[in-house]
């Protein structure tokens, strides 16, 4: 589970601003802290999408401080980020992945698109290309 720490700051216009120390491109705001945190997941996914598109390493989240706030990425987003990292580590490009999966390049683009609702079976097939396996783990809620 990827938990990115956030900093909440009161803006001069009365809104609450959310910043991510580990992902400076991700910023958002809300009328109050609750609304700002609800917007934070979308802001983080959008910023990390730029990392994937630019083929840059995804920043690792730093530890969340005691009483600190954090945003947890959805499991599907985390799986897509892991696929991107695995592909780059194994030097498997999108074209090669499409060839090995016997699909078209736009399908691979959607698999790596953090804002697209891909199916888990498609991600499982993509992970098998570099010899990996996608597992799902259920834990007690914190």
pLDDT attached to residue 142 = 67
Phi-psi region of 55 (alpha: psi -120 to 50; beta: other; left: phi over 0): left
Q: Is the pTM of this model over 0.75?
A: yes
Q: Terminus-to-terminus CA distance in the chain, angstroms? A: 12
Task: Give yes or no for residue 11 having a pLDDT over 90.
Answer: no
CATH code: domain 3-72 is 3.30.160.250
Confidence of residue 72 (pLDDT cuts 50, 70, 90): very high
Q: What are the distances in angstroms from CA 122 to CA 85, 107, 142?
A: 17, 9, 30
Record the tokens describing residue 117, joined without a space.
Answer: 């609702």
Averaged pLDDT for residues 41-55: 94
Q: Read off the pLDDT band of 12 (50, 70, 90).
A: confident
In tens, the pLDDT along 99-136 reads: 999 999 999 999 999 999 999 999 999 999 999 999 98
């Amino acid at each position: 589970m990827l938990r990115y720490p956030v900093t909440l700051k009161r803006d001069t216009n009365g809104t609450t601003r959310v910043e991510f120390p580990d992902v400076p491109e991700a910023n958002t705001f809300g009328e109050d802290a609750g609304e700002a945190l609800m917007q934070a997941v979308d802001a983080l996914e959008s910023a990390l999408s730029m990392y994937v598109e630019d083929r840059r390493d995804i920043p690792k989240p730093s530890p969340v401080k005691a009483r600190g706030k954090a945003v947890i990425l959805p499991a599907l987003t985390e799986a897509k980020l892991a696929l991107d990292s695995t592909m780059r580590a194994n030097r498997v490009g999108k074209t090669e992945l499409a060839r090995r999966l016997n699909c078209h390049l736009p399908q691979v683009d959607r698999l790596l698109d953090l804002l697209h609702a891909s199916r888990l079976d498609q991600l499982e097939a993509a992970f098998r290309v570099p010899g990996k396996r996608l597992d799902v783990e259920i834990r007690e809620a914190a």
